[in-house]
């Protein structure tokens, strides 16, 4: 067996090559991009949720010392969604009206950000306020008015039912109903958004530095929206300080900055501050689901009916409406890992006078898991059954594969029941129940929440766009060292490491001899970027396919140069040799030199050089990971404070590329899930003012809020390349349900059941009083 059959790097806990630059302060993020003469932008943003713009006076701002230019819609008359997927497109700068607090109205371009903010205060805008549309249920009824006069508030409506739903539902022995709600949240990447644009004098091209997850998509958008030929736009993504789906969009500010650089022929930079970020990054979640469940005496769930609603904000975010994602995906995976035969869903996505809704890690997932696991919990409590037992009764069985759920989604084989059993063991379920009883007698309320989940990953279409494949270019340089490039847009996931691991095994070169490029449209092959948990399975798949191609080429070279059969060639550690005769070897370096400089020795039929690009399009439209989370909490009923005390995860994302990196992803997602369940909410007041515009109001989990987690991996390979499944979102999909169920469990003596996230101290106090 040669090295590729015995992978050494794939699956290994390799330390990341990205780290030294990040640890030493040498990494360059967007705001670290500085060129001589760079101007900075501050936006004047709408203070009203809904208003007509009556007049603007810009003279004072224009005349302010240090100001270079002041832009309005007239200077940048660009609409996002010009391509009419929806009836409404968002102007990059407000045009005649404002439709949410925080909408960019005027751009000030000045010597530095301090001065730009001074001038922003000098802009006078006269508004005629309108009644804001703020309530989802009202908005569906077109009350108090339409957000956009020309079109209905409901911008997406879809209905679905399995055949025979009504009969099955009506005949079921028991029915329960509940309304589930998640508040608005947002990604809050620690590095906020930003864009810098400049014309490259040498080539005359527009260079845009963008803190984005989708470099090629950004280039396409800038090219289309500003009508610049695509070859004249170069997008460079510097280090990105987190994205979580929020940085997959093309935002109005990106376009305005690019436009300013073009119009004024100056380098221009905008970096969002935290208030702007909370006011203008896409928001996520904001779902209301009216749900009914029908079930049998033994806890077997027969049917689920759900009216899914999501508040899409003032415009569909470009190019991915989070509201449509939240609902239409949730509707397809609402049954989770359970075999539930019948499903009926009605979806309504509405406009409102709030920030556009986009993607935040696990789009659809937290609400769908919250519902699916919340229903199981309710069924168990109603029938006085053990919640673990009800899960077992409903879980998809291994003998049911190939399996499609009630919405028609084809699941991958996984470890549905096994992950549940393992997680119960890890948390010592029976021991916990005893401890819980004991402590209750002392007035302490512990609870345990189970969340078994499925995670559809690597979907053909996600917030990262509708590019269903990924590309990998490999160039073995004349020295035998390897330069690879992919169309990914990592924001901390470590692709330079994981992709190099895959390639090292395939090419038989040392891991250290590979560099992985990404994020520069000049060097990276066209690709879909990072989002929707696609980079592992699809990006990794592309690396595998390209690596294998290159490997074949290296073998042909070696066989030719060593005068041996191709089947006898082995590769590893930068060498190729004849199996069993290690002395008959040739270095990859020599092969590379031959390929580039000694071209007469190239084996017949092979091209000059060692360079190729391969694309990988998975055969299946989606790849399902699965697992089980269990959270233990203690609820202080006297204060309403919840502490998560223990946490276990059993995760199955197929073949692992780097277990340590997978664990890091899980830890981070669980922390975000704790935030989603206990802390994070964006609040609008009655006038449509966002009242949570700082990190003193929008609370993120801190090191003292997140418990130590115990993780166990199960590897059920997918049928795709390398057996890899995606896993970037599962931890945030599963964890809110786990923590919420744990709270419900803790408060079972009070008959309480959590139905809204996050759960605040005030809500806990109300549940126990």
Instruction: Tell which phi-psi region holds residue 315, choosing left (phi > 0), alpha (psi between -120 and 50) or beta.
Output: beta
The interface partner of residue 596, options being other proteins, ligand FES, none and the CB cut-off 5 to 8 Å by kind, is: none
Q: Which is nearer to ligand FES, 243 or 456 (CB)?
A: 243
DSSP result, 3-16: TTTS-SSTTS-PPP
Interface with other proteins by CB under 8 A: which range of 225-233, 431-439, 477-485, 671-679? 671-679
188 binds, among other proteins, ligand FES, none (CB under 5 to 8 A by kind): other proteins
Looking at the DSSP bridge assignments, the partners of residue 125 are: 56
The pair phi, psi for residue 668, each rounded to 5°, is -65, -40
Q: Which is nearer to ligand FES, 492 or 529 (CB)?
A: 492
What is the b/e burial string over 338-357, where b = at least 16 CB atoms within 10 angstroms of the residue's CB? bbbbbbbbbbbbbbbbbbbb
233/764 with CB nearer other proteins: 764
Using CB distances below 5 to 8 A depending on partner kind, what does residue 525 bind out of ligand FES, other proteins, none?
none
- Contact between 25 and other proteins by CB under 8 A: the answer reads yes
> Which residues does residue 235 pair with via DSSP β-bridges, in sequence order?
208
Q: Is 242 one of the binding residues for other proteins (CB under 8 A)?
A: yes
For 82-108, b where at least 16 C-beta lie within 10 A, e where not — what string? eeeebebbbbbbbbebbbbbbbbbbbb
Binding partner selected for residue 706 from ligand FES, other proteins, none, CB under the kind-specific 5 to 8 Å limit: other proteins
> Minimum Å distance from CB 191 to ligand FES?
8
Q: How far is the CB of 432 from other proteins (least distance, A)?
A: 21
Binding of residue 492 to ligand FES (CB under 6 A): yes
By the rule CB under 6 A, 659 interacts with ligand FES: no
Contacts of other proteins in 253-282 (CB under 8 A): 273-275
Nearest to 180 by CA among 762, 755, 601: 755
Site string for other proteins, 56-75 (x = CB under 8 A): -------xxxxx--------
Query: Rounded distance, CA 308 to CA 301, Å?
Result: 19
Residue of 218, 240, 724, 740 that binds other proteins (CB under 8 A): 240
Residues 179-218 that bind other proteins (CB under 8 A): 187-192
47 binds ligand FES (CB under 6 A): no
Q: Which is nearer to other proteins, 328 or 735 (CB)?
A: 735
Under rule CB under 8 A, residue 691 binds other proteins:
no
* Structure tokens, 411: 């699941």
Q: Which does 393 bind (CB under 5 to 8 A by kind): ligand FES, other proteins, none?
A: none
Give the whole-angstrom CA distance, residue 765 versus residue 506: 58
Which residue has 């301090």 as its token pair? Answer: 114
242 binds ligand FES (CB under 6 A): yes
Give the residue, chosen from 172, 699, 714, 748, that forms a contact with other proteins under the rule CB under 8 A.
699
Cβ closest to other proteins, residue 197 vs residue 661: 661
CA gap 253, 108 in Å, rounded: 12
Nearest distance in Å: CB 66, ligand FES: 24
Q: Which of 466, 598, 641, 749 binds other proteins (CB under 8 A)?
A: 641
CA 742/CA 220 separation, integer angstroms: 45
**Residue 726 neighbours by CB under 8 Å, 6+ apart:** 455, 457, 458, 532, 533, 534, 535, 536, 537, 623, 625, 653
Shortest reach from residue 709's CB to ligand FES, in Å: 16
Does position 27 bind other proteins by CB under 8 A? yes
| Residue 245 DSSP one-character state | T
From the list ligand FES, other proteins, none, partner contacted by residue 192 (C-beta under 5 to 8 A by kind): other proteins
List, in order, residues 6 or more apart from 552 with CB less than 8 Å away: none
Q: Does 512 contact other proteins by CB under 8 A?
A: no
Say how far apart CA 259 and CA 96 lie, in whole Å: 20
- The binding site for ligand FES (CB under 6 A) comprises 190, 242, 492
């Amino acid at each position: 067996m040669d090295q590729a059959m015995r992978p050494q790097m794939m699956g290994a806990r390799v330390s990341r090559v990205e780290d030294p630059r990040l640890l030493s302060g040498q990494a360059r993020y967007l705001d670290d991009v500085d060129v001589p003469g760079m101007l900075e932008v501050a936006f004047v943003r709408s203070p009203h949720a809904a208003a007509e713009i009556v007049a603007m006076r810009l003279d004072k701002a224009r005349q302010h010392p240090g100001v270079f230019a002041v832009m309005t819609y007239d200077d940048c008359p660009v609409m996002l969604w010009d391509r009419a997927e929806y009836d409404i497109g968002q102007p990059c700068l407000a045009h005649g009206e404002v439709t949410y607090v925080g909408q960019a109205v005027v751009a000030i371009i000045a010597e530095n950000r301090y001065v730009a903010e001074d001038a922003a205060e000098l802009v006078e805008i006269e508004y005629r306020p309108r009644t804001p549309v703020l309530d989802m249920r009202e908005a569906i009824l077109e009350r108090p008015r339409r957000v956009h006069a020309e079109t209905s508030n409901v911008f997406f409506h879809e209905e679905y039912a399995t055949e025979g739903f009504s009969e099955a539902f009506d005949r079921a022995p028991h029915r329960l109903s509940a309304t589930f709600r998640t508040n608005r949240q947002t990604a809050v990447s620690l590095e906020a958004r930003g864009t810098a644009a400049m014309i490259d004098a040498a080539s005359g091209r527009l260079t845009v530095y963008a803190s984005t997850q989708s470099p090629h998509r950004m280039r396409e958008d800038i090219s289309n929206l500003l009508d610049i030929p695509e070859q004249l736009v170069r997008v460079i993504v510097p280090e990105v300080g987190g994205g979580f789906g929020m940085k997959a969009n093309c935002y109005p500010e990106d376009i305005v900055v690019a436009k300013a650089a073009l119009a004024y022929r100056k380098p221009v930079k905008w970096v969002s501050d935290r208030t702007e970020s909370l006011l203008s990054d896409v928001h996520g979640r904001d779902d209301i689901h009216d749900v009914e469940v029908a079930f049998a005496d033994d806890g077997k769930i027969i049917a689920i009916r759900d009216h899914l609603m999501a508040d899409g904000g003032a415009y569909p975010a470009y190019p991915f409406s989070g509201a449509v994602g939240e609902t239409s995906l949730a509707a397809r995976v609402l049954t989770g890992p359970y075999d539930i035969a019948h499903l009926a869903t009605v979806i309504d996505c509405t406009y409102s006078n709030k920030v556009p809704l986009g993607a935040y890690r696990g789009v659809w997932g937290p609400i769908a898991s919250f519902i699916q696991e919340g229903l199981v919990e309710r069924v168990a409590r109603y029938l006085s059954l053990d919640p673990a037992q009800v899960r077992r009764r409903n879980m998809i069985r291994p003998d049911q594969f190939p399996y499609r759920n009630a919405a028609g989604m084809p699941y991958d084989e996984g470890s549905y029941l096994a992950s549940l059993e393992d997680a119960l063991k890890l948390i010592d379920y029976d021991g916990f129940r005893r401890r819980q009883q004991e402590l209750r007698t002392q007035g302490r309320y512990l609870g345990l929440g189970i969340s078994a989940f499925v995670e559809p990953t690597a979907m053909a279409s996600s917030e990262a766009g509708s590019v269903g494949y990924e590309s990998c270019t490999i160039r073995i340089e004349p020295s035998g060292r390897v330069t690879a490039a992919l169309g990914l847009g990592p924001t901390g996931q470590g692709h330079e490491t994981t992709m190099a691991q895959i390639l090292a095994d395939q090419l038989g070169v040392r891991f250290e001899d590979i560099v992985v490029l990404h994020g520069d449209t000049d060097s990276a092959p066209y690709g879909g970027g990072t989002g929707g948990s696609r980079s592992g399975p699809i990006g990794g798949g592309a690396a595998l396919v390209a690596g294998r191609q290159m490997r074949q080429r290296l073998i042909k070279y070696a066989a030719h140069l060593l005068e041996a059969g191709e089947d006898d060639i082995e590769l590893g550690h930068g060498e190729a040799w004849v199996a069993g005769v290690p002395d008959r070897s040739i270095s990859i370096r020599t092969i590379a030199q031959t390929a580039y400089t000694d071209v007469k020795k190239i084996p017949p039929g092979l091209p000059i050089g060692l360079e190729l690009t391969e694309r990988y399009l998975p055969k299946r439209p989606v790849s399902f990971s699965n697992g089980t989370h269990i959270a233990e909490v203690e609820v202080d009923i006297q204060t309403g404070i919840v502490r998560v005390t223990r946490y276990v995860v059993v995760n199955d994302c197929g073949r692992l590329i780097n277990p340590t990196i997978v664990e890091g992803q899980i830890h981070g997602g669980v922390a975000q899930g704790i935030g989603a369940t206990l802390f994070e909410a964006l609040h609008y007041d009655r006038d449509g003012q966002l009242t949570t515009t700082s990190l003193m109001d929008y609370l993120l989990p801190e090191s003292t809020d997140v418990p130590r987690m115990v993780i166990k991996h199960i590897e059920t390979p997918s049928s795709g390349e390398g057996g890899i499944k995606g896993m970037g979102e599962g931890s945030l999909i599963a964890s809110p349900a786990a923590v919420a169920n744990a709270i419900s469990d803790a408060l079972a003596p009070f008959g309480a059941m959590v139905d809204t996230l996050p759960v605040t101290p005030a809500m806990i106090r109300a549940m126990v009083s």
